Amino acid sequence: MRITKLKTENIGGLHDALLEFPNGRLTAVAGANGTGKSRLLACLMSLWTGSIPSPADRRHASTVTLEVQFSEEELDAIVQYDRQSGWNQGRPPATVEIVKTYYGESGVLNLGPQEHLATFYAFQQQQILSRFPSLNAIYLPAERSLVPTGPGPIDLNQLADDRAQSALANARSSAVGMGQLSDSEFESYARALCVAASLPNDEDGGPDGGEADAWARFRAAVDQLIYPKALGSLTRQNPTDLRIEIPGGSSHGVGDLSSGERQALIIISRVFRASSGYSLMVIDEPDVHLHPALSSRLVSALDLGMQEGGQLIMATHSPAILDGIPPESIIRLTHSGPASTISTESDRLELYRSAGFRASALTQSSMLLVVEGDFDSLVLPKLIPALGAAFIRNSGGRDPVLKTVSALADLEMPILGVIDADVGASPVPTAISSMVHSWDAADLEGVLLSDDEFLQAAIDGALIKPPFATVPALKAELDRLLKDHADESVIEVAVRQLREKTSVLWPSPRGDQARSRLDAMAGTLPQLDPADISEALSAASQELASSPSLWPMVRGKWIASDFVRNVSNFKNSEAFFLAVIARQPVLAALNTLSSKVQQLLDEQTK
């Protein structure tokens, strides 16, 4: 399930507007205090609460219209509920407009669509939400209180679905009023997950791969949140109490964290507890009571907890959070007009100023690091400790990184962009070349997998299956996979060159039919000459043949899943990378970037 549009009419505190939500995983609803951020989220949550905010003018009807997209499995569930309820209205379309109209003077609430009533009522049936969690939502209100309680004994039932359902129902009931975050939530869940990840299964006596992956992802999110501290596992010396590890070798209990850190950890545990199968997460002011640096890390950690294809919608006016979100994923609310999306960095700065922040508050950190993707923003702070003082922003690709660095280069802040090698790409503009670092490999995954010390760390951590437990054996498997994907890299480089000449929608370089799809483009448009395609493929093949290594040509992310599945018991490549990085390998490929980061930070202290 995904909410794609919201239309509001005569809602108190909101201008009438039709909003289209971006396709990405994260959307921020931003604006100064009093512009209606919480009210807009209440309109979204009306699917589950059954009510809409009060009208601006009680003499007229107020309406909330939500456009919702359903998967085939969700439609099957709705059809089954429709039959059980006796409506027998048939299968609804994949995209449905759900309308709620409230008549203020009479107090009557009308519901729609009348031709598919099940699409409305299904969201308020706990039995359906329990069986089909993708129809449910994770909600956290802005008004939150921290209740100190002990975690109690270790209980693997903490991982059961009904515990997640209970937490969600409690949160929704606090959509108006204060939600409670119990200190015990984080530690009870984390201890249960830690134990479950280490217990053998009945089939082969080894640990369960799914639970091990879940623990690795959860621990990575926690470590990112409380950096430079880290979450320790249960041990024989501490079999019941989790410890927070501090640089230098000491540790302390979870209860000794700050109230802001404990609140953020409870939010993380609630999201991870409920994230399996859930589609939508709505958070009102995730930064409330939190330091700006902790707020930005919380959003990155939340992203780790979201399932693939999930949708996170949050209300905030904090630059510390908004800096990590692409402009097109920010919906701006104002006192003077209807909500709208922002499109440029200039719009972003204007948004900050309208919310009462100075442009110098852009990062709330010692420096800004702009990277291409989520993986880079996740692992770089763990590989380069100095980045704990930086705000890391994912721009979504090479060109957006360069545009962001160019747009912010004149501001008085230390900024550094990190881009992939991208053979055949346009050179970095001279004006910002000193502010950009380029990997020697096609992506960061390739940087790590091509480093012998990284591979040795995986072996030393007992993360590799015995037949592959030597560096030469791992490199041989990597070489095999690189060669398997070499043709895809040729097509990617060729398409990159062709894109410079002709702005058309070129096919993906991935898959068995990639070459035939590219050849089929010839002659489809007047500006596409078959000779140009042949010439680009020939030039890309020469690039491949002349390259001393396949790593600058073949993306590590293309081979990572197969590699991890073949040589380890991990089911998820990201969890494997995080497990190896947790062993803190010293990687020569990161030395140059580390030096640039340290130089920028040193300049700030002069």
Q: State the average pLDDT for the chain.
A: 80
Task: Please check whether residues 597 and 528 belong to one and the same domain.
Answer: no
Tell me what pLDDT residue 176 has: 39
Task: Please check whether residues 514 and 551 belong to one and the same domain.
Answer: yes
Dump pLDDT digits (tens) for 468-485: 999 999 999 999 999 888
The residues pairing with 148 across neighbouring beta strands, listed in sequence order, are none
User: For residues 374 and 380, what is the distance between their CA atoms, to the nearest angstrom?
Assistant: 10
Q: Is 384 part of any domain?
A: yes
Task: Please check whether residues 538 and 405 belong to one and the same domain.
Answer: no
Q: Are 296 and 321 in contact (CB under 8 A)?
A: yes
User: For residues 488 and 216, what is the distance between their CA atoms, to the nearest angstrom?
Assistant: 31
Q: Is 545 part of any domain?
A: yes
Tell me what pLDDT residue 89 has: 93
Q: Indicate the number of domains in the chain.
A: 2
Range of the domain at 503: 448-590
Please give the average per-residue pLDDT across 536-563, as a whole number: 83
What 3 state SS string does 441-502 have?
CCCHHHHHHCCHHHHHHHHHCCCCCHHHCCHHHHHHHHHHHHHHCHHHHHHHHHHHHHHHHC
Kindly tell me if the per-residue pLDDT of 391 is higher than 60: yes
Token pair, residue 504, equals 């058309």
Sign of the C-alpha dihedral, residues 549, 554, 555, 561? negative
Q: Is 42 part of any domain?
A: no
444: phi then psi, degrees, rounded to nearest 5: -65, -35
Task: Please check whether residues 469 and 421 belong to one and the same domain.
Answer: no
Task: Please check whether residues 392 and 486 belong to one and the same domain.
Answer: no
Tell me what pLDDT residue 233 has: 86
> Which CATH number characterizes residue 411's domain?
3.40.50
Kindly tell me if the per-residue pLDDT of 178 is higher than 90: no
Dump pLDDT digits (tens) for 62-114: 999 999 999 999 999 999 999 999 999 999 999 999 999 988 776 677 777 78
Q: Are 521 and 509 in contact (CB under 8 A)?
A: no
Please give the average per-residue pLDDT across 275-291, as a whole number: 76
247: phi then psi, degrees, rounded to nearest 5: -55, 130
Task: Please check whether residues 436 and 467 belong to one and the same domain.
Answer: no
User: For residues 70 and 76, what is the distance between their CA atoms, to the nearest angstrom?
Assistant: 10
Tell me what pLDDT residue 361 has: 47
Q: Could you say which DSSP state residue 588 is in?
A: G
Tell me what pLDDT residue 10 has: 95
Confidence class for position 29, pLDDT limits 50, 70, 90: very high
Task: Please check whether residues 526 and 429 belong to one and the same domain.
Answer: no
Task: Please check whether residues 438 and 471 belong to one and the same domain.
Answer: no
Crossing angle of the two packed helices 471-484 and 486-501, in degrees rounded to 10: 50
Whether the link from the prior residue into 414 is cis, omega within 30° of 0, is: no
Q: Are 227 and 381 in contact (CB under 8 A)?
A: yes
Kindly tell me if the per-residue pLDDT of 358 is higher than 70: no
Token pair, residue 552, equals 């600058």
Please give the average per-residue pLDDT across 195-203, as a whole number: 74
Measure the N-to-C terminal CA separation of the chain; round to a whole number of Å.
52
Percent residues over pLDDT 70 in the chain: 78
Q: Where are the alpha helices (DSSP H) in 355-470?
A: 374-383, 398-408, 444-449, 452-460
Among 227-236, 242-251, 348-357, 560-569, whose mean pLDDT is lowest?
348-357
3-state helix, strand, coil in the chain (%, to 5): 50, 15, 35
Task: Please check whether residues 506 and 565 belong to one and the same domain.
Answer: yes
Q: Is 217 part of any domain?
A: no
Confidence class for position 499, pLDDT limits 50, 70, 90: low
Kindly tell me if the per-residue pLDDT of 173 is higher than 50: no
Kindly tell me if the per-residue pLDDT of 360 is higher than 50: no
Strands 243-245 and 230-231: antiparallel
Task: Please check whether residues 456 and 562 belong to one and the same domain.
Answer: yes
Q: What is the DSSP string of 553-566?
A: TS-HHHHHHHHHHH
Task: Please check whether residues 566 and 549 belong to one and the same domain.
Answer: yes
User: For residues 144 and 156, what is the distance between their CA atoms, to the nearest angstrom?
Assistant: 27
Position 533, amino acid: I
Q: Is 32 part of any domain?
A: no
Tell me what pLDDT residue 471 has: 96
Residue of higher predicted confidence among 369 and 173: 369
Task: Please check whether residues 577 and 509 belong to one and the same domain.
Answer: yes
Q: Is 533 part of any domain?
A: yes
Confidence class for position 16, pLDDT limits 50, 70, 90: very high
Tell me what pLDDT residue 395 has: 79
The CA–CA distances, whole Å, from 1 to 117, 277, 357, 545 equal: 17, 10, 36, 46
What pTM, to 2 d.p., does this model score? 0.61
Q: Are 283 and 316 in contact (CB under 8 A)?
A: no
User: For residues 410 and 62, what is the distance between their CA atoms, to the nearest angstrom?
Assistant: 46
Among 3-17, 29-43, 196-210, whose mean pLDDT is lowest?
196-210
Kindly tell me if the per-residue pLDDT of 326 is higher than 70: yes
Q: Is 375 part of any domain?
A: yes
Tell me what pLDDT residue 175 has: 42
Q: Is 483 part of any domain?
A: yes
